[in-house]
Amino acid sequence: MNQSSSVRNKAPKRSSSKRDTLAQAFIPEAGKADVHIHTTASDGGATAQEVLDYAERHTDLDVIAITDHDTIDGAQEAARLHQEGNYRFDLIVGEEVTSTAGHILALFITKEIPKELPPHETVQLIHAQGGLAIAAHPMLILRYIDPDMLTANGVGADVLMAERFDGVEIINGGPTLGKENARARLLNRSILFRAETGSSDAHIVEAIGKGYTLFPGKTAAEFREALERKTTEAVSTRYKFREVIKYGRFFLKMKARETGKRLLGSRRVKPRHRP
Ligand SMILES: [Zn+2]
Ligand SMILES: [Zn+2]
């Protein structure tokens, strides 16, 4: 993170949608954060450098977080590049941790959180190092999960209610998650009342910012404060047709690569696509 040296004098390059205007009417100085982005350190298609450059040139995001599956290598590489560069946005080091119940975003961490622990322990470990725990796509329950994979699901309603999550991702920018997002929003607004986040879960650069969180302020520290005060607002953004096609091709290519590896008899370690 490089808050003090961040330069913020460039005009936003992405035009505002109708939804932006409505939401931002209530918080005119709201910042935009996308805190769920993957790189090639796990199953993303872009390197940390490519993610930083895309966010700089093609979005008006104020804060981004790199959250690779079960590793902070990509986020730490991004932090190093961010420190050396002169980016106008803040960067948060994060991880999408695979707990035994489902995926949990760890934000503001410095050490990797081990995978395959019960969600209670995962959340405890995140808090122990001063991080925040966000339930990623919490109501995503896939019908089929690869037998090699522990889970690609969200943690589900029971775990959401039982554990001390600092936020709930009520908008996950995956192009097919409409119903799951609606369920997460309903659960949060009727029972949980946790801070709400919107994120892209981007695996290709064009998806960055397709789902973001509005918050009072512009910096990562202000984003954190907004989560703690529950003053965030999740916003979804539509994909262009050509972006959906590119995303579809990316997943098909990844699937073909995995199938090829399996046919050759090589055991998977990682990466592979998970939401
Ligand atoms: Zn993800
Ligand atoms: Zn996930």
Query: Tell me, what's the pLDDT at 139?
Result: 95
Of the ligands numbered here, which is closest to the C-alpha atom of 67? 1
Provide the whole-model pTM.
0.86
CA of 67 to the centre of ligand 2 (A): 9
Q: What is the pLDDT of residues 183-197, one digit of tens each?
A: 999 999 999 999 999
Q: For the chain, which domains are there?
A: 4-9+16-240 (3.20.20.140)
CA of 42 to the centre of ligand 1 (A): 10
CA of 201 to the centre of ligand 1 (A): 5
Give the up-direction half-sphere exposure of residue 126: CA atoms within 13 A in the CB hemisphere: 32
Of the ligands numbered here, which is closest to the C-alpha atom of 201? 1
Query: Tell me, what's the pLDDT at 260?
Result: 74
Strands 132-135 and 233-235: unpaired
pLDDT at 16 over 50: no
Taking residues 54-77, report their average pLDDT: 97
CA of 206 to the centre of ligand 2 (A): 18
CA of 134 to the centre of ligand 2 (A): 11
Quick one: pLDDT band at residue 267, thresholds 50, 70, 90? Answer: low
DSSP 219-233: SHHHHHHHHHHT--E
Of the ligands numbered here, which is closest to the C-alpha atom of 36? 1
Of the ligands numbered here, which is closest to the C-alpha atom of 150? 2
CA of 122 to the centre of ligand 2 (A): 15
pLDDT at 272 over 60: no
For tokens 């090699």, what's the residue?
A: 148
Residue 250 has what DSSP assignment? H
List helix spans (H) across the chain: 18-24, 48-58, 73-84, 119-128, 156-162, 178-187, 220-229, 241-263
Q: What is the pLDDT of residues 225-264, one digit of tens each?
A: 999 999 999 999 888 888 888 888 888 888 777 777 767 7
Rg (CA), the chain: 17
Strands 103-107 and 233-235: unpaired
Query: Tell me, what's the pLDDT at 67?
Result: 98
CA of 146 to the centre of ligand 1 (A): 16
Query: Tell me, what's the pLDDT at 17?
Result: 46
Taking residues 110-139, report their average pLDDT: 97
Of the ligands numbered here, which is closest to the C-alpha atom of 103? 2
CA of 37 to the centre of ligand 1 (A): 7
State the average pLDDT for the chain. 87
Looking at this protein, which amino acid is placed at residue 238? R
Of the ligands numbered here, which is closest to the C-alpha atom of 153? 2
Q: What is the pLDDT of residues 132-146, one digit of tens each?
A: 999 999 999 887 777
Taking residues 8-24, report their average pLDDT: 47
